[in-house]
Amino acid sequence: MNDDGPDAAIRRAIGGDEVSIAAIVATAGLTEDALTIAMAALLQGDAGLLGRAETLATTSRDRQVVAIARAHLTGDHELVDALARDHLVSFPDSLIVSWIASR
């Protein structure tokens, strides 16, 4: 990923930037960043990656993002809606959750 960090790469990936998408997917097995792993899981449609993200998620924000990603990948749209609404009240700047909810 670029030197501007995982948040910027996630923003670019949400925007469809192929280089950022490839970088996130490539580093998912190496990073200690729960959000990057959750994003890689979303990009690949692989809920199996989320176990490691859950282990690494140390903040309530990160744990909520991982739970929302899991609900999305398992097709529980009602749960995604409920969790995303609650998450965005506390973290209105969460682009990854806004992106998940919009899908």
Please answer whether residues 97 and 87 qualify as being in contact, where contact means their C-beta atoms are separated by less than 8 angstroms. Answer: yes
Range of the domain at 14: 5-102
Structure confidence by residue, pLDDT tens digits, 51-69: 999 999 999 999 999 999 9
Instruction: Count the domains in the chain.
Output: 1
Tokens of 51: 């176990």
pLDDT at 3: 52
Structure confidence by residue, pLDDT tens digits, 16-55: 999 999 999 999 999 999 999 999 999 999 999 999 999 9
Structure confidence by residue, pLDDT tens digits, 85-96: 999 999 999 999
Please answer whether residues 72 and 45 qualify as being in contact, where contact means their C-beta atoms are separated by less than 8 angstroms. Answer: no
The reported pTM is: 0.92
